[in-house]
Chains A and B, each alone.
Chain A
Amino acid sequence: MDPVPWARAQMAFTLAVHIVLVPLGVSWAAMTLIANYRAIKNNDADAMRLAQRWSKVMAVTFAVGAVTGTVLTFEFGLLWPQFMSQWGDAFGIPFAIEGLFFFTEAIFIAIYLYGWKRLRPWPHFWSGVPIAVAGIGGSFAVVAANSWMNQPAGFTLDAAGKIVDVDPLGVIFNQATPYETTHMIVAAYLVGGFMVASVYAFAMLRGRTERYYRLGFIIPFTVAAIATPVQMVVGDFAARSVFHDQPVKFAAMELVDQNATDVPETLGGYLGSDGEVHLGVPIPGLASLLSGFSTSTEIDGLDSVPASDRPTVSQVNTVHLAWDVMVGLATALLALVIWFAFVWWRKRALPRSKWFLRFGAISGIAAVIALEAGWVVTEVGRQPWIVYDYMRVEDGATTNSGVWITFLGVVVLYAAVVVTLIIVLRGMAQRWRAAELAGDEDIDPHDTPYGPRSHRERETERV
């Protein structure tokens, strides 16, 4: 069987699963540290309990994130060996840097997670700070590599197309790096914040409105609330940059078939094979206005490049739909954030409406969908290129015909892991809840942070 479609499916699937764990890996440590800081500073038992529990859950999600990330590392070779063979000299550089950050993250996450009981409070808190820093650095490096696929730079080719010289800084800081990396790092905080907050919104809907749950909602939701408006500005900037750097991708996002001015922003709708936009609600001139600050801005159409150099019609429609979904959900989340901010400003309290909590409870899922949609725009919008304007996806793929088997295997394996992850996390929550109802949580010496040194350790010291 032709391995190319299977390789694409497998890469898309494994990335789509991994990317859900990424926001947790990048931003949850920061949120945990906020709770931890408040706990130590104000002697806040609720915040302490949150920080401890979050770190326990984080241990599990980080482990699953680490192994699904490893699969992606393998897949660069297993699925895209020719791509790596030709471009590894340049493309690999950001990954070398990412490795450094990932290593730092893995080391300090271990110290932080396992240090609760026996380290002193402030040193323990500080051992968590490198996790948050490395999360940001690691995202920057990985996304810089993806940016390079969109805006390849920093290399010299010989006549045969082989890389003969590399400018490492040119690779890392390619044209797309500033906006893509910022967009993803902010997204990690936005999505991570809404994901964690939605769990507590759900708990509050079930009537658990004690301070512990409110705090568990407010800390991550505030993080998301700060990230959301920032993301709107960054996203707007990113879209305009795509307009300049990758006109074909932009044409797909906006359903522009032929070069035109006064291009409408079409909500919904699809591009027919006749090159016409069907259905959809056009807002006149808005796409032109947003891309060049004037309705007379000319936007290149899909037709500006030969059909073989641009996404197919169905890919164009996928990109446009994903683009609409991302912007639409982000706008809805912004509205939720404004609601929260307004009430907080006036009353220093959460909105009392059940509807706020209902929307809060689904905000996590909405944010994840927006994140996935954003990656669909980036990746499908680049088709048919794996390296924009340099290498086509099919030229980078493996020739091994058995990829359909590994694809099926990966789907089964990941389905099992994801379902188990959800069951295991729910089980942890239920156990904690049961312990609370039984009232033995606070007297359980095993869960006391920074507690008296245990018998075993004293014995070790004697030895």
Chain B
Amino acid sequence: MTLADVIAVILLAGVILYAIFGGADFGAGFWDLTAGGAARGAKPRLVIEESIGPVWEANHVWLIFCLVVIWTCFSEAFASITLTLFVPLSLAAAGIVLRGSGFAFRKVVVRTRYRRLFGGAFALSSIIVPFCLGAVAGGIASGRVPAGGTTGDLWDSWLNPTSLVGGVLAIAVCAYLSAVFLVSDAHRLSDQGLVEYFRRRAIAAAIGAGVIATSGIFLLRNDNRFLIDRLLGRALPVVLLSMVLGVVGLVLLVRGAATWARFLAIGAVGSIVAAWGVAQYPYILAETLKIETAAAPDATLWTVLIVFLVAVVVLVPSLGLLYVLDQRSLLDVE
């Protein structure tokens, strides 16, 4: 394993962490959007607000982390990605602005009309952003991003079968993760009605995500031989792991053991993203650019590795503190 491989693994870890924690926040927006009118949706929305309020900004930093690692360590890939996937990335950036400011504004206004407006901006963009990022992943994974800091097809690169499956799967996965997390949050608030509310949604989303992921493998056989062959080849153990974790998590959800279901959901989502990475190795851009070729000089890679290790030492305890305080309800909205 070369140094560049190590950095690629760190990048993949960043993508996984963003998919899990950022994903759960996006999913919360999905449930916010589908919670119904102001009166009916008030209670679920309150849980959603309390649950993601303190953590969404920290979770969002994983995206910045991924971008910085790509542009510093694999700058050629970064240029190709941003040139080719210009449209979905621009949409995602706009969505991120709407989402963050919409959420922050909604929390501090009182009138229903404004809460609805900002809440709408927050919730709608919570669907647009994961779709776009999923489509970006699909474009990269299906070999549609050329090497050499050049522009591929501006439209086909993200409006293709793999990207569409990627985008829809991202929305479903976010909704799934979030619903499972929200079951625990509702549980903490000792609101049985809401526990049940989110549990039903978690089950539906789990089945939805599972169906999309599984059928995706068959749907994409023709579009993306490279990835599918490898997902069913080298990455098959990881794919199976994800499926087993997903199914066990679903059983636990059905039986009402939400706390454990949460860890299994994290495992299922984490391993499906990891499977993508395993399948695509040694390419940073599937079929077009290898990790080794795109890698920056060793001194840069070492610097990023050292910063990452410092980050682990500093940030893991800090994040742990944040999550523990959050889980113990020591952090409070208003």
Contacts and interface: CB of A to CB of B under 8 A. Distances in A.
A410 B318 CA distance: 34
Given A96-B307, A409-B94, A456-B189, A103 B101 contact: no
B72 interface: yes
B97 A60 contact: no
B198 interface: no
Interface in A418-451: 420-421, 424, 427-428, 431, 446
Interface SS, B side: helix
B71 A76 contact: yes
Contact of A77 (B58, B79, B97, B318): B79
B149 interface: yes
Contact of B96 (A70, A115, A459): A70
A44 interface: no
B97 A68 contact: yes
B63 interface: yes
Interface extent on A, as a size class? 35 or more
Contacts of A417: 97, 101
Interface string B219-242: 000000000000000000000000
A431 to B, nearest CB: 7
A73 interface: yes
Contacts of B46: none
Given A67-B101, A114-B53, A114-B331, A400 B86 contact: yes
B97 A114 contact: no
Interface residues of B, number: 77
A103 B86 contact: no
Contact of A66 (B68, B100, B110): B100
Interface stretch (B23-31, B163-171, B263-271, B320-328): B320-328
B108 interface: yes
B259 interface: no
Contacts of A59: 104, 107-108
A64 B55 contact: no
Contacts of A87: 75
A100 B331 contact: no
Contacts of A168: 299-300, 302-303
Contact of A108 (B90, B92, B318, B328): B318
A90 interface: yes
Contact of B149 (A82, A92, A96, A457): A82
B151 A420 contact: no
Contact of B97 (A56, A71, A109, A117): A71
Contacts of B109: 424, 427
B151 A163 contact: no
Nearest to B323: A107
Contacts of A71: 93, 96-97
Interface string B76-120: 101111110011011011101111110111011110000000100
A267 interface: no
Nearest to A109: B57
Interface stretch (B32-40, B275-283, B308-316): B308-316
Interface in A68-108: 68, 70-71, 73-78, 81-82, 84-93, 95-100, 102-104, 106-108
A24 to B, nearest CB: 13
Contacts of B57: 62-63, 66, 106, 109-110
B333 interface: yes
Contacts of A104: 314-315, 318
Given A66-B60, A70-B64, A81-B79, A410 B94 contact: yes
Given A117-B332, A427-B109, A96 B69 contact: yes
A212 interface: no
B304 interface: yes
A261 interface: no
Contact of B104 (A60, A84, A89, A109): A60
Contacts of A78: 82, 86, 89-90, 93
Nearest to A56: B108
B333 A107 contact: no
A70 B89 CA distance: 12
Interface string A400-412: 1010001001100
The 9 closest A-B pairs by CB, nearest first: A92-B72, A88-B75, A77-B82, A85-B79, A114-B331, A63-B104, A67-B100, A89-B296, A85-B149
Given A93-B303, A104-B318, 8 more contacts: A62-B57, A84-B79, A96-B72, A102-B61, A110-B55, A446-B334, A456-B329, A459-B190
Interface of A: 56, 59-60, 62-64, 66-68, 70-71, 73-78, 81-82, 84-93, 95-100, 102-104, 106-111, 113-119, 130, 163-168, 398-400, 402, 406, 409-410, 413-414, 417, 420-421, 424, 427-428, 431, 446, 456-457, 459-460, 463
20 contacts: A67-B96, A73-B68, A74-B89, A74-B92, A74-B93, A78-B86, A85-B79, A89-B296, A100-B314, A102-B64, A103-B58, A103-B61, A107-B322, A111-B331, A163-B296, A166-B296, A400-B154, A409-B90, A413-B98, A457-B330
